[in-house]
Amino acid sequence: MRNTRTAPLAFCIYLLYNKPINTENSINGKAVSALASTQGTETAQTPKNKTSAKKNILTIFLLLLAVGALAAVGWLYMNPPQARNDKPQSDVSAKLDSILLTRKITQIPYMPTDISNVYYTADAAGNVTYYTFDGTQYSETAPTGTMELTVPLSGQQIPVKIPYIEQDGTLTGFGVFSSGASGTDVYIYNFIIFKVCNLPVAYAADGKCLLLAFTDQTQAYTIDPVWEEAYILNRANGTTERFLSENNRMLGMNGAVRADFCMLTNGALTADTAAIPFFSGRAYDLSANTDTSVDIYMKNGAKETSVVTGAADRYVKPLGGDSFAFLRRSGNGFETVKYENGTETMITAFYAGYGTSYIRSGDYLLSKEDGRIYTTFDNTVIETAGYKMNPLVFAVSPNGKYVGMAGTVANVLDYRIYVYNTETKKYATFTETNYAAHDNMHFIDDHTVAYYVVNVEGYENVVLDVSKVK
C-alpha cells in the first residue's frame, strides 16, 4: 500500500526541480540580485524588472512553504499519530483462563443462598449440603443447625428437614420433600422445596422466621423462584401460621390448593416497611389462565388489598413506603410502571416482546437487539459497547460497574462470554468451549460472576473475576 505521508515530500521535490528559479538575473555572466538596491538611492524599475521581482517573491514564498512541508513530514515520521484511547476497545481471547477462578463439575449445581458467598446443593432424597466460596474455590460448610418440621398444606402434613446457616444475623436454609423418599402417606405432592429466612424487617419478631415453599419442580434450579406458600415459623416449637391469608382459596385440578393464590418473590421481601407486595391469579379462571395474568396485592399488617391488575410477570421492586415498580404488557410491547399511593406512572415504554426481544435479570432489562440495559425502576440506561451477540443470560454487578453476558455470536457453536465495564466504557469477549446453555448468571460480589453449564458429566460451576479483564 502506498504511504500517503510521502506525498508532500514528492510534491516539494517536484516543485524545487521543475519550477523555474528567478531569484537571480544574469548580466554579463555575473549574478546580480533582482532585488538589489544601491546605497541611499533606489534602483530604477522597468516593467520587465517589476514582473521579475514579483515572480521572485512568489518563488521564495513557495520555497519556504516547501521547506516547511519537508519539516512537517519529518516530524510526522518521528512522531506518528497515536490512536485515540477513549474509544471502546475489545480483547478477544481464545479461553477464559485469564479471568477464570474455578470451573468445578458437580452432579447438582451450586445454588445461591441469602448469604452472598454461601451456596447449597439439594437432591431428590432430601440431602442438603452447604458450601462457602472463599474467592478461589468452594469448600463444604457445616450447617449451624437443623429444623425438623411438619408443615400443613392442602390438608396434608408435610414432613421436612431443613439444615440452616446463620451468619451475622442472616438466616438461610433449605429443605426438600420428595414423596419417593419420605416414606409418608402424602399423596397430593411429589416434590416441595422449603426455605427458611429472616422475616421482612417490619414483621421481625424474636424467635420467629419466615418459611417459604414452592411445588413446581421446574424451578428447582432457578435463582429467582416464585414462592407459593409463606408461613411465620416459631423456631422454638416448630408451629406455623400463615404469613399471607388463604381465605376463599380454591382447589386446583389435582386436589391441592391453587398454587397461584398468594405468591411471593425474594425481591418483594426486601421491602423496608409493612407494605409487602405479592401476586395472585385468584381473579382469573384457573383453566383459562395462560400464566401471564396475575394481579398484585399489598399486605400491610393484617390487611391485604388488590392494587394492580394485569401484571406482565411475577416481578416487583419495592421502592419505599407502599411504592414499587412492576411490569405490564401493552398493545405493542410492555412498560415499566411505578405504583405509589394508589397511582400508576409509566417509567419506560418498550415496543417489543417481553421475554423474547427483552430479557430480565433482577432489576435490569436487556434489549437483545442493541445491547442496551434498562433499570426497571427509573430511566437509567447502560449503553454497552462492542455488542455483537444473541445473549441467553446476563447480570449486572451490585455496584453497577460490570455487565456480564453469555450467548452465541455467529452460530450455535460460537459461544462467547462478554464483559463490559461501565466506568471505562471498554469491553472484552471470550470464547467459551462449552456450547450448552448457560444458566443462573449472577454476581457473588462487585466483581465476581458465577453461572453453571450442563455437560455430559453433570454441571460445570464456573466463577470468573471480571476485574482481571484488561
Average pLDDT taken over every residue of the chain? 84
The pLDDT of residue 6 is 43
Q: What is the pLDDT of residues 330-348, one digit of tens each?
A: 989 999 999 999 999 999 9
The residue-averaged pLDDT of 131-153 equals: 96
**Structure confidence at residue 240 as a pLDDT band (50, 70, 90):** very high
For residue 254, the model assigns a pLDDT of: 79
Closest CA to 88 of 419, 444, 463, 449: 419
pLDDT tens-digit readout, 41-51: 333 444 444 44
* pLDDT given for residue 179 in this prediction: 84
Averaged pLDDT, 194-201: 98
pLDDT-wise least confident of 115-119, 183-187, 287-291: 287-291
Question: Is residue 82 pLDDT above 50, yes or no?
Answer: no
Q: Is the pLDDT of residue 60 over 90?
A: no
pLDDT band at 286 (very low <50, low <70, confident <90, very high): confident
Going by pLDDT thresholds of 50, 70 and 90, the confidence category of residue 194 is very high
Which has more pLDDT, 183 or 192?
A: 192
Q: What pLDDT, on a 0 to 100 scale, did the predictor assign at position 287?
A: 65
pLDDT over 90 for what percent of the chain?
69
Could you give the percent of the chain with pLDDT greater than 70?
Answer: 78
Residue-level pLDDT at 310 = 92
Measured between alpha carbons, how far is residue 234 from residues 195, 310, 444 in Å?
Answer: 14, 35, 31
Q: What is the pLDDT of residue 63?
A: 57
pLDDT at 452 over 90: yes
Contact indicator for 429, 415 with CB cutoff of 8 Å: no
For 437-448, letters b (16+ CB in 10 Å) and e give ebbbbbbbeebb
- Residue-wise pLDDT tens digits, 438-450: 999 999 999 999 9
What confidence tier does 437 reach under pLDDT thresholds 50, 70, 90? confident
Q: Give pLDDT, residue 470.
A: 77
More confident residue, 403 or 291: 403
Cell numbers 398454587 label which residue?
259
Answer yes or no: is pLDDT of 30 > 90.
no
Which of 106-115, 176-185, 314-323 bottoms out in mean pLDDT, i.e. has the lowest?
Answer: 176-185
Given a cut of 70, whether residue 26 has pLDDT beyond it is no
Q: Which long-range contacts link 166-172 to residues 24+ away (Cβ below 8 Å)?
A: 167/115, 167/118, 169/198, 170/114, 170/115, 170/198, 171/114, 171/196, 171/197, 171/198, 171/209, 172/113, 172/114, 172/115, 172/118, 172/196, 172/197
pLDDT recorded at residue 23? 36
**CATH class of the domain defined by 92-468:** mainly beta
pLDDT confidence of residue 66? 56
- Domain-by-domain residue ranges, the chain? 4-78, 92-468
Sequential DSSP letters for 69-82 = HHHHHHHHHHSPPP
pLDDT surpasses 70 at 261: yes
